[in-house]
Chain A
Amino acid sequence: MEIRKINADIITDAVKKLYMEMNYHIGEDILDALKNAENTEYSPIGKNVLAQLIENNKIAADEEVPICQDTGMAVLFVEYGERVIIENGSFEEAVQEGVRRAYIDGYLRKSVVDDPIFDRVNTKDNTPAIIYTTIVPGDKIKILAGCKGFGSENMSAVKMLTPSAGIDGVKSFILDTVRYAGPNPCPPIVVGIGIGGTFEKAAMLAKKATLRPIDTSNPNKRYAELEEELLSEINKMGFGPAGLGGNNTALGVNIEYFPTHIAGMPVAVNICCHAARHKETEI
């Protein structure tokens, strides 16, 4: 079995680049969805808000400044090829260093505090990043990176539904969560949903769902139809762009699912603002 050696600096540079680019340049899928929303929005204020968001994204890209001041907490899903060995450092520290350099050198906001209850002192470099690693066959490292703002993160929820709740219970919980969030998470939102697994698996699936391009559907037809139905129901709620009224409350609904226990049906709803910043690379 052949081993591939990768220098830690290559990982650091790749992560730094991902974070700077995702913060300056909106994804094409999101930009297309915003333009489409602007065309279909019936509320004059809502239309105006969408035009300003599109303009904002252009300014951010042209000037290479962040789209939003909340440049989030860094979350990375890594598929680590089992034949890779990191030289001159560790994988974990190489990723953290990449995040550190992106946030310091890239004029991104440092939004992480060290202790959640007692001290709440800013770590001043936006670390630690949250890294989920899966070991896979092969000699590549695939990194799917996101930065999560907390205006929307705070509106997210997990519920341990049981099988008798059925599809109606799943829909109700998702729609109730979005309704409760209302104007707070910077609509039009992207809704990431994780169904199945265990308590934490559902939440991780929901996070991963927010990182999937919104112009894609779940490959399972029944879940793809559920995505469509939920998007349509959310857009009937009337919150609209910036929560100031309108028919564009969400740009997309992405569902990921996983086998679960005979007694359970966990559902997690991770709400994301209209920027839905994410980027991936393979090393």
Chain B
Amino acid sequence: MTNKITLPLTDETIAELHAGDSVLITGSMLTGRDAAHKRLFELIEQGKPLPVDISGEVIYYVGPAPAKPGHAVGPAGPTSSYRMDKYTPALLDRGLKGMIGKGARSNEVIESMKKNGVVYFAAIGGAAALISRSIKKIETLAYEDLGTEAIYRFYVEDFPAIVAIDSKGNSILAK
């Protein structure tokens, strides 16, 4: 069964999502991957303000391909999440409520997810052209100099994902 959910995520919605649930996500989300995470993390460590308010947001680990004329965005599938693990607990402590990526997470991330009530969705790695059809509009929010690695806002309709690790720490990722 597929649940339709809207962003921003409420604590009630997060509590109702269980590992293995298929979801179609509508609303707006942030994007960010390796280089943007490193910068955000360094600002947090230095006690400086972030260029984007991440509180209550969902972040999608993606570096989209360039958009062809007439397209909102190029193919935009998930990148491997574990590379963000080092930086993730600090972002969750700042109020990030959801993450979308692919692959496994560290125990530290899962513990932080349980503590902060956060959900981790898996999008299908490699289904980039298919996924991009659900992305209707994008804006650049920060770190434009990073190109594909900048922080964007994606406006999505029925973005397909699966709850990979829920806020209780249950996981469907095969070990």
Using a CB–CB cutoff of 8 Å, the interface residues on chain A facing chain B are 45, 49, 52-53, 55-56, 59-60, 63-71, 107-111, 120, 122, 124, 151, 154, 182-186, 237-240, 242-245, 273-275
Contacts and interface: CB of A to CB of B under 8 A. Distances in A.
Contacts of B71: 65
Contacts of A64: 68
B35 interface: yes
B104 A183 contact: yes
A215 to B, nearest CB: 20
Contact of B174 (A65, A111, A122, A240): A240
B130 interface: yes
B124 A53 contact: yes
Contacts of A185: 80
B129 A120 contact: no
A245 B66 CA distance: 32
B48 to A, nearest CB: 21
Contacts of A242: 102, 122, 124-125
Contacts of A124: 147
Which of B35, B79, B164, B174 gathers most chain A CB within 10 Å? Answer: B174
Given A107-B74, A154-B80, A183-B174, A67 B128 contact: yes
Interface of B: 20, 22, 35, 62-68, 71, 74-77, 79-80, 82, 102-104, 122, 124-133, 146-149, 160, 162, 164, 172-175
Which of B67, B80, B104, B146 gathers most chain A CB within 10 Å? Answer: B80
Contacts of A273: 125-126
Which of A67, A69, A273, A275 gathers most chain B CB within 10 Å? Answer: A69
Nearest to A155: B80
A184 B61 CA distance: 13
B71 to A, nearest CB: 7
A56 B71 CA distance: 16
A175 to B, nearest CB: 15
Which of B127, B133, B175 gathers most chain A CB within 10 Å? Answer: B127
A238 B174 contact: yes
Contacts of B82: 184
A69 B75 contact: yes
A227 B121 CA distance: 34
A264 to B, nearest CB: 32
Contacts of A52: 124, 127, 130, 160
A273 B80 CA distance: 12
A100 to B, nearest CB: 14
B65 A107 contact: yes
Contacts of B68: 63-65, 107
A109 B62 CA distance: 12
